[in-house]
Amino acid sequence: MNEPTHDTYYSLADFDRVKKIDAHVHLRTDFDTIFIRQAARDHFRLLNVSVYTSPSRTPEAQENFSLKLIGEFPDIVTYGTTFSLEGFNKKDWETNTMAYLEKSISNGAIAVKVWKNIGMELKNEHGELVMITDEKFEPILQLLIEKDITLLGHLGEPKNTWLPLEEMTVQGDRDYFRENPRYHMYNFPDFPTYEDQISARDQMLANNPNLRFVGAHLGSLEYDVNELAKRLDQFPNMAVDMAERISHLQYQAITNWKGVRDFFINYQDRLIYGTDLRAGASDIQAKGLTDPEEIANHAHEVWLRHWQFFTGDDEMTVPKVKGTFKGLKLPRTVVDKIYRTNAEKWYPGLLH
Write out pLDDT tens, residues 99-149: 999 999 999 999 999 999 999 999 999 999 999 999 999 999 999 999 999
Q: How many domains does the chain have?
A: 1
Specify if 188 maps to a domain. Answer: yes
Task: Note the pTM of the prediction, 2 decimals.
Answer: 0.96
User: 186 is in which domain, residue-wise?
Assistant: 12-346
Which own/partner contact pairs does 217-221 have at CB distance under 8 Å and 24+ positions apart?
Answer: 217/154, 217/158, 217/241, 217/242, 217/243, 217/244, 217/245, 217/276, 218/242, 218/245, 218/248, 218/249, 219/153, 220/154, 220/155, 220/156, 220/157, 220/158, 220/159
Specify if 96 maps to a domain. Answer: yes
Specify if 266 maps to a domain. Answer: yes
pLDDT > 60? residue 97: yes
Specify if 239 maps to a domain. Answer: yes
Specify if 246 maps to a domain. Answer: yes
| CATH at residue 80 | 3.20.20.140
Specify if 4 maps to a domain. Answer: no
- Taking every pair of Cα atoms in the chain, the longest distance, rounded to a whole number of angstroms, is 62
Write out pLDDT tens, residues 298-344: 999 999 999 999 999 999 999 999 999 999 999 999 999 999 999 99
pLDDT > 80? residue 282: no
Specify if 3 maps to a domain. Answer: no
Specify if 6 maps to a domain. Answer: no
